Structure 1
Amino acid sequence: MPKPPEVGTQAPDFTLPGLLLTDDSADRREYRLADVKGDGPLVLVFYPGDDTAVCTKQLCSYTSDLDRFKDLGATVWGISPQDLDSHERFARKHRLAFPLLADTDRSVAKAYGIAVPGLGLRRSVFILDGDGTVRWKHVALAGLTFQHSDTLAEQLAALKS
């Protein structure tokens, strides 16, 4: 199994189905990492499961601070192994305001070296610059806690300077 990409290296490219809630509709489409190159920083949030305690707290926290990330020029994508129907229920229930991508075969988790056979994936965050280079990462061992918005904002601010 591959190891997580090192800081300073290109992030593995991928295309995944995803959805974004807008008002009362769910916009479903393909999300391609290659399509956002040149657009500014991207925060990839790998989380183990929709509507679980820690994941809910984490993604709700990031939604609450989404304007802060946008002010730093960043986009946020959440990625987990559940399908789009599960993502839509989760997003509607908690009013999540960034795209949730479905890595149902865990191919992207495997490419990022965070898949755990039989268990899913390790809770992880990768911050990519506009060229798709990994500038910061955190891969949790147990996944019982998550990186708070303050930490992510500090890392995004450091990219601007």
Structure 2
Amino acid sequence: MESDVLRELYEKYHQKAYLYVLSLCRDRETAEDIVSEGFEKAFLTVEGCPEGFFWWLLRVCRNLWLDTLRKQKHQGGEMPEEIPVPEDALSGVLQKEENRRLYTAMNRLSPADRELLIWHYFGGLSIRQMAGLRGISETAVKTALFRARARLKQKLGGEKP
């Protein structure tokens, strides 16, 4: 790809990718490292068309984060139980009090549920895109998303799923 195209892709997607990775790893420095490495790998491996670049970048970053977790576990560190959703990613979506309630409820969900909800509602990914990132069928994503929403509703004080 041309350097102008690469620069444009970086400027367009860096902040979104950073917020996504920050929501996974909870550490700004680690998130920046993962996003930087993710852009490098995505630039080298995406096959010519920038249309699918963002989704490829998210997949690369997610895999790098999982690699980081495996290394931490192998080195004696523990894998985090909770993966937070940064309040910055939620601001403007809900009023401040609702924001805190949602943040708390999201943290009580499993990492898989939290990730799907972040992708769909805050990242704007379609069912098809999430299926591609997860490597599962669209039907499986729909089912998982339905269940994640039900569990979130329950955490927010709604009915049990």
Band the TM-score falls in, shorter-chain normalisation: under 0.3
Indicate the structure (1 or 2) with the bigger Cα radius of gyration: 2
Greater strand share, structure number: 1
| TM-score, normalised relative to structure 1 | 0.26
| TM-score, normalised relative to structure 2 | 0.26
